[in-house]
Chain A
Amino acid sequence: MVKPRHRRTAAIIGVGHTDWVGDWVRTRAGEKPADSVGYAARAFRNALHDAGIARDQIDGLIVGPTTPYERMGELLGLNVRWGGQADAVQSVTQACMAIEAGFAEVIVLVYGNNQRSGGTQYGGPNAMGGGAYLSYVYHAPWGLTSQGGLYALMMRRYQSERGFAERDLGEVAVAQRGWASLNPDAIMRKPITIEDYVASPYVCEPLRMLDYCLINDGGVALVIAEAGRARTLSQRPVFIEAIGRSDLNRNATSLAPRLLDLYLPAQQEAASASFEGAGIGPQDIDVVQIYDSFSVHVPLALEGYGYCALGEAGRLLREKGIGPGGQLPTNTAGGHLSESYMQGWSHQIEAVRQLRGECGPRQVPDCRFVHYSSDVAGKAMSIIYGR
């Protein structure tokens, strides 16, 4: 099999985001601080400033799924020679591919979402994503539409298959809140305990309120440049070491990849592609970033991407720990559970900031490698970042 060639061919040279905390307060008060393109534009300005480059250096644009491409480019004043639209992890991948192919040299990735003030529904009769993922809406006649419902089914199956205890899932929410308490950009900063977790109400049993992400308004932007170009700039580059991907599409609507496979074959394949590509293993990772629309992603990823044996995630969470002071720092900004639900985008900028050493009280010492993984709807993606 031909191996991907993109090792260290591109680097992130700028990151930016919007005022999640301030906009959370404003949207809760009924205000609409911006629309989706507005949030993306604010994040873009911040990322451009962080990169220390002029706007006319940009020759590629990728927009997230929630903003229209042409309008976004129009507002940012960007005429480019290459463009696209994708979710967080695929945007990073596509930027690397475009740079590798010579289509562009400095690409900006922008994401904006007014999901809170706009009233986006992730459950119920108007649940998002029905066009993209039939499983999100197909089972509506039986009362199953929400994303949480699908992950709750997966969690119950996981408990039974690998002996994961319901109480251990609380370790994820507690650890991530611990990180969030050290992050001024996190929305939920008040520390919680396992007892708080157990006392939090079920939304879709066995998942509780504290297992769900925080839906809120905001934006994120990244600037990715060809590696040689990145080395000539003032900002410290963070390199994309390697990327792996594996998709389970067969029988996806009837939930077989979730319930029969627990996404494991995809996670393992994506893990080996990315770790082999980077020439390192899970033992070399200093910070783990895991897409966490729901807490259950975390133990599944810890097992699937090789941080512990199958069935050992509960012990890892309890004994080694993934929170501040733990042996495997994970979702160090608080993640989607406690920082802000930015659909995988915020994990990328936290990876960059940890590798630059900019994270203040939550900084993981001498951070050399960060691993990001996601497994949205059985599409397992794995990115290794290095400095």
Chain B
Amino acid sequence: MGLYDGPFWRSVSERRLSLQCCRGCGAFRYPPGPICPECLSEDSDWQPVSGKGEILSWVVFHRHYLPAYKPPYNVIAVRLDEGPLFMSNLEGVAPEGDWIGRRVELVYATMPDGFVLPRFVLAN
């Protein structure tokens, strides 16, 4: 975890996903960092996001790279309604066909080791 990532993971563990937001221009930024790439202000706070977005792309891993991820498993790229792109996983069903553009919403998944992870499900 990087120097600026703490508040993100705290917000996840509190089930209230928040992203860093520039006080100078109001732009959300992800991943968090020391300065706003839009206006170069160092002044920021953390704002909850809606957790709503749409699928930009998706893949299915068929190779075992990480101990916690046994294949096959999916990764989706979500464009949050607030703007930032967010890499995550789709829960419940595997993505298929042309699911690009499908609406998704945030859920909180508890991993076997107790770690809470922000993931997505298809929106109703």
Contact = CB atoms under 8 A, between A and B. Distances in A.
A156 B59 contact: yes
Interface string A138-160: 11111111100100111011001
B86 A254 contact: yes
Given A156-B100, A255-B77, A123 B87 contact: no
A154 B100 CA distance: 12
Interface string B56-73: 111111110111110011
A199 to B, nearest CB: 14
B85 A145 contact: no
Contacts of A71: none
A153 to B, nearest CB: 5
Interface in A127-143: 134, 138-143
What secondary structure prevails in chain B residues at the interface with A? strand
A249 to B, nearest CB: 9
Given A142-B87, A254-B31, A255-B87, A153 B63 contact: no
Nearest to B69: A143
Contact of A259 (B30, B85, B119): B85
Interface stretch (A26-34, A201-209, A272-280): A201-209
B61 A204 contact: yes
Interface size class of B (residues with CB under 8 A): 20 to 34
Closest 9 CB pairs of A and B: A143-B69, A139-B87, A124-B65, A254-B85, A205-B60, A152-B59, A157-B57, A160-B100, A202-B62
B59 A201 contact: no
A97 to B, nearest CB: 28
Contacts of B115: 141
A190 interface: no
Contact of A254 (B61, B69, B84, B119): B84
Contacts of A123: 63, 65
B60 A143 contact: no
B25 to A, nearest CB: 14
A205 B76 CA distance: 12
Contact of A204 (B37, B63, B84, B85): B63
B49 interface: no
B20 interface: no
Interface string B83-122: 0111111000000001010000000000000010101000
Interface of B: 30-31, 37, 56-63, 65-69, 72-73, 75, 77, 84-89, 98, 100, 115, 117, 119
A227 to B, nearest CB: 41
A207 B59 CA distance: 9
A259 B37 CA distance: 19
A22 interface: no
Contacts of A201: 62
Contacts of B69: 143
Contacts of A142: 75, 87-89, 117, 119
Interface string A250-266: 11011110011000000
Contact of A145 (B59, B65, B67, B98): B65
24 contacts: A123-B65, A124-B66, A141-B115, A142-B89, A143-B61, A143-B65, A143-B66, A143-B69, A143-B73, A143-B89, A149-B61, A152-B59, A153-B59, A157-B56, A160-B57, A203-B63, A204-B61, A205-B59, A205-B62, A206-B59, A250-B37, A251-B85, A255-B85, A259-B56
A125 interface: yes
Nearest to B117: A141
Nearest to B72: A205
B23 to A, nearest CB: 20
Contacts of B37: 250-251
A80 B119 CA distance: 54
A259 B77 contact: yes
Contacts of B86: 254
Nearest to B37: A250
A251 B115 CA distance: 27
Nearest to A152: B59
B73 to A, nearest CB: 6
Contacts of B66: 124-125, 140, 143, 145
A144 B61 CA distance: 9
Nearest to B88: A142
